[in-house]
Amino acid sequence: MPSSPVPITAYALCNAMGMTTAAVLEALAAGQSGLRACPEEFSREGVCGSLPEAPPALPATLRDRDARITRMLALTLAELAPALRRASARWTPERVAVVLGTSTGGIRETELAYRHHATHGALPGGYTVERTHALDSIIAVTRALTGARGPGYVVSTACSSSAKVLGTAQRLLAAGLCDAALVGGVDTLCQLTLNGFDGLKLLSPRPCRPFSAEREGINIGEGAALMLLEREGEGAARLLGVGESSDAYHMTAPHPEGLGARLAMARALADAGASPDEVDHVNAHATGTQQNDSSEGRAIAALLGDTPVVATKGYTGHLLGAAGATELIFAIAAIERGYMPASVGASPADPNIPARVVEARVDAPSRRVLSNSFAFGGSNVSVLLGGPA
Amino acid sequence: MSALRFSITSVAVWAPGFAEVDALVRRTPDPSVSKPSALLLPARLRRRTSLLTRMIAEVCERAMAAAELPRGAAGVVCASAYGEIQTTGALLTALTADAREPLSPVRFHNSVHNTATGYLSIATENRGFNTALAAGRDSPAMAVLEGATALRAGVCERVVVAIGEEPLPEPLAEVGGRYAPLAVGLALAPAGVGPDFVMSKETCSNNHVDTLPPLPAELSGNPCAAALRIVELWAGAAASVPLGGGYALARAEEGPR
């Protein structure tokens, strides 16, 4: 039986394109990439999707959880404060769940703590594993800043994390364990992911160009993206269906024919009770590596034929644990404003990828958008969003 | 509704000295239990994996076998407070020595929180649902919640919930504490397959953990130690146990569901 649609009543995000939702979505509509030179602190030449400014520190009461990741979270959470207050008043704080995706957690602070330990023989004062490093510190900070008291946890499945949280929230709502859920993701730049993807030889020295014949790999980005789901309410979009799958193939390489990706998309459509011809466009995972774009393009073509495909990592870089939620908000903006964003950097599109890539912005309504997120470990998720009822 | 009813058809435990449910319940450690065999993973995969991934593979295999689930037939929910922290620590040490050096690709992909679910899906050719969670000391509670709601939504017909935590590496253990590793696997099925349990926010009345002996000292500091209480509950040593996050798990009363 298909899942019930869930209204998405508010959203907010920050990333390389801007510190506010308005700035980010203005840049998306204008086709302006936010990619820039990597910050000096990472001792690396090349391109990153770093925030344009440093986010402010947490309030003194949360000093023990102050970290790059919780600062980005708090910045974006502040934009949602009125909507969260309204939802808490309507449903009670005990009925507001918090389910967030992250892959990095507070690892940037742990990197600095290791360096401090190497120099001084001790970890820096105030550093803790439980509050600084832990993935779930973002849940504690969200609860402290919003008063939400419902079920709270982190989904951490690398680059699919913040799209899989939509499935979790959908199930918590269906089971009657909450009436509202704050979902999304947040990830920061850090040495570990930069040097890790460097070790895999997947970093592009220039701005990434997903689906382009000239693509060279990925750029790493950072940011936060949050959405409020409610049992009932008015919003710009609705969650229609979620499909999750595993490649069962390789820890980092995607299945060459995109088998797991196709399964995830088909399951999302089945969950929504929708047919492939009802999808107006796909926001692809499209990282910009040879293998990923090729296998995803095959999977999309096999299931959805020549449905238009948008790739948005050329704007932000790959936000890893925050990528899924970021791209879902791009899909909401496309539904709300009636356009398909330009796939910045995609021209000339790779003729060997069978997907119909949207190279320049197209002004046309999108009623249903499918957004893909794929990850290490062969973790795949596809989410179908639609306009208001 | 704020309570969830479901069956736990089998449990498995692994910690140093404790590879059998009975040994844990009776606090009779077997000194020969020092490493999880993790035979579910083919040798070529297993040799690359951490203690955490091996413990998870071990308890998943034994929980699935006891529940008579064919390999790959169930969804998998893994939960851990700090995940692949030993592998992450090794990467951080390498970065501290040289911030410009590219990292080992195998170590890097083995540092993600969903490493165990990735290896398990490959080993069992399971293209179904899996996920990996973190919720600090509430990880056992949230893992059961995720597994039970996945069953209820029909995402999978059976689900194995695996909760595991390996020791912190130095220097993190200096501030985060030193404890022994542990993993617990639970095979969950829809209510009625039996025996049934109820997870709820309410505090249980005629409980509970006070009647149980303290956990072995080396395990009690493990952030996922509450998972061991589920094993004791399943074995009948208590009527209900606290899981963390304000949730309790209780043996269901007989009667209508």
Q: What is the pLDDT of residues B21-61, one digit of tens each?
A: 999 999 999 999 999 999 999 999 999 999 999 999 999 99
CA distance linking residue A310 with residue A282, whole number of Å: 6
Q: Which of A152, A158, A245 sits opposite B127 (nearest CB)?
A: A245
Would you state the pLDDT for residue B206? 46
Is A171 close to B125, i.e. CB distance below 8 A?
no
Would you state the pLDDT for residue B211? 79
Whether B128 and A245 have beta carbons less than 8 Å apart is answered as yes
Would you state the pLDDT for residue B71? 83
Is A191 close to B95, i.e. CB distance below 8 A?
yes
pLDDT for B256 beyond 70: no
| b (16+ CB within 10 A) / e for A165-179 | bbbbbbbbbbbebbb
Q: Cβ contacts of residue B239 below 8 Å, gap of 6+?
A: B204, B206, B207, B208, B233, B250, B251
Look at residue B97 and give its three-state secondary structure: helix
Is A199 close to B130, i.e. CB distance below 8 A?
no
Is A156 close to B168, i.e. CB distance below 8 A?
no
Q: What value does the mean pLDDT take over residues B4-14?
A: 98
Touching check for B127 and chain A: CB below 8 Å? yes
Nearest CA-CA distance, residue B50 and chain A, Å: 14
CA distance linking residue A291 with residue A257, whole number of Å: 10
The total number of structural domains that make up chain A: 1
For residue A69, give the CATH number of its domain. 3.40.47.10
Instruction: List, by residue number, the catalytic residues of A.
Output: 159, 285, 318
Is A135 close to B134, i.e. CB distance below 8 A?
yes
Find the Cα–Cα–Cα–Cα dihedral B248, A101, B129, B161, rounded to 10°.
-30
For residue B3, give the chain A residue with the closest CA. Answer: A177
For residue B93, give the chain A residue with the closest CA. Answer: A114
Residues B113-144 have pLDDT tens digits of 999 999 999 999 999 999 999 999 999 999 99
Interface test with B, best of A153, A245, A250, A374 (most B CBs within 10 A): A153
Catalogue the E-assigned strands of chain B: 3-14, 75-79, 130-134, 159-165, 182-190, 196-200, 240-244, 247-251
Phi first, then psi: give them for residue A369, nearest 5 degrees: -125, 130
- Strands A96-101 vs A180-187: parallel, antiparallel or unpaired: parallel
In tens digits, chain A (389 residues) has pLDDT values of: 899 999 999 999 999 999 999 999 999 999 999 999 999 999 888 999 999 999 999 999 999 999 999 999 999 999 999 999 999 999 999 999 999 999 999 999 999 999 999 999 999 999 999 999 999 999 999 999 999 999 999 999 999 999 999 999 999 999 999 999 999 999 999 999 999 999 999 999 999 999 999 999 999 999 999 999 999 999 999 999 999 999 999 999 999 999 999 999 999 999 999 999 999 999 999 999 999 999 999 999 999 999 999 999 999 999 999 999 999 999 999 999 999 999 999 999 999 999 999 999 999 999 999 999 999 999 999 999 999 98
As for the ipTM of the complex, it is: 0.97
Contacts B151 to A, Cβ<8 Å: none
Count of other CB atoms within 10 angstroms of residue A22: 11
Look at residue A238 and give its three-state secondary structure: strand
One-letter identity of residue A376 = F
**Domain limits for position A24:** 7-386
Is A115 close to B88, i.e. CB distance below 8 A?
no
Q: For the domain B3-251, what is the CATH superfamily, name and number?
A: Thiolase/Chalcone synthase (3.40.47.10)
CA distance linking residue A324 with residue A312, whole number of Å: 11
Is B114 close to A114, i.e. CB distance below 8 A?
no
Contacts A378 to B, Cβ<8 Å: 118, 121-122
Whether B233 and B249 have beta carbons less than 8 Å apart is answered as yes
Residues B137-174 have pLDDT tens digits of 999 999 999 999 999 999 999 999 999 999 999 999 99
Residue whose C-alpha is closest to residue A325's, from A112, A181, A212, A115:
A181
Nearest CA-CA distance, residue A339 and chain B, Å: 33
Residue of higher predicted confidence among A88 and B203? A88
Would you state the pLDDT for residue B203? 54
Q: Which pLDDT band, with edges at 50, 70 and 90, does B2 fall under?
A: confident
Nearest CA-CA distance, residue A196 and chain B, Å: 5
Contacts A377 to B, Cβ<8 Å: 109, 112, 114-115, 117-119, 121
Touching check for B139 and chain A: CB below 8 Å? yes
Element (H, E) at A381: strand A379-386
Q: Which of B102, B119, B131 sits opposite A157 (nearest CB)?
A: B131
Q: Which pLDDT band, with edges at 50, 70 and 90, does B201 fall under?
A: confident
